[in-house]
Amino acid sequence: MPSEARGTYLAEQGMRLLDDQTFGPGHSGPEIAAERVDRLAEWLEMTLGTRLTAFAAGLSTRELVQIAHRDANPDAEVERRLRNLYAVASLLAARDGAGSAYAWLTEPNEDLGGRSPARLLHDGRPPESVWFAATPAF
């Protein structure tokens, strides 16, 4: 892995959170790093719902809608949180079906001390600690 690469690499999934263009085993998807953040926010809003997306990203529903409709530009931290949320939600949706990302984010997770991934993200936990709970143990 080149030293200039940023983000967190999850080798088991072939995925880099935030800024690499690798997504899923053997799939290159520039959408995580190169796609406009408003499009990612819109996809999250449509897939997870406005309330869950806003909650997990630490936003109000109004702020999320403004970002998704290009009425506001997110600061760097909010953009990072939305891109990371998109990375895991789209991975789970592609791997296990559309409803799986919503279910995974909202259900208490034993690997996370019985808390939901969305709650931990909302509370400011780094995404890496939450995403590892989405990886299957082999």
CA distances from residue 94 to 24, 74, 100, 101 in whole angstroms, order as listed: 9, 26, 9, 9
Split at pLDDT 50, 70, 90, the class of 98 is confident
Q: What is the mean pLDDT of residues 5-23?
A: 41
> d(Cα 98, Cα 111) in Å, to the nearest integer?
22
Residue tagged 């690997």 (tokens)? 111
Tokens of 28: 């290159």
In 3D space, the residue among 2, 122, 113, 114 whose CA is nearest the CA of residue 56 turns out to be 122
Q: What tokens were used for 94?
A: 């592609």
| Cα distances (Å, whole numbers) of residue 80 to 59, 75, 99 | 13, 9, 23
pTM above 0.95, yes or no: no
Residue 23 above 50 pLDDT? no
Specify the 3-state DSSP secondary structure of 77.
Answer: helix
What tens digit of pLDDT does each residue of 54-93 get? 999 999 999 999 999 999 999 999 999 999 899 889 888 8
Please give the mean pLDDT across all residues of the chain: 78
pLDDT tens track for 33-62: 778 999 999 999 999 999 999 999 999 999
3/127: higher pLDDT: 127
Q: Can you tell me the mean pLDDT for 110-117?
A: 90
Q: What residues are paired with 109 via a beta bridge?
A: 115
Residues 6+ apart with CB under 8 A from 30: 21
Confidence of residue 117 (pLDDT cuts 50, 70, 90): very high
- Assess contact for 118 and 136: CB atoms under 8 A: no
Report how far Cα 79 is from the mean position of its chain's Cα atoms.
11
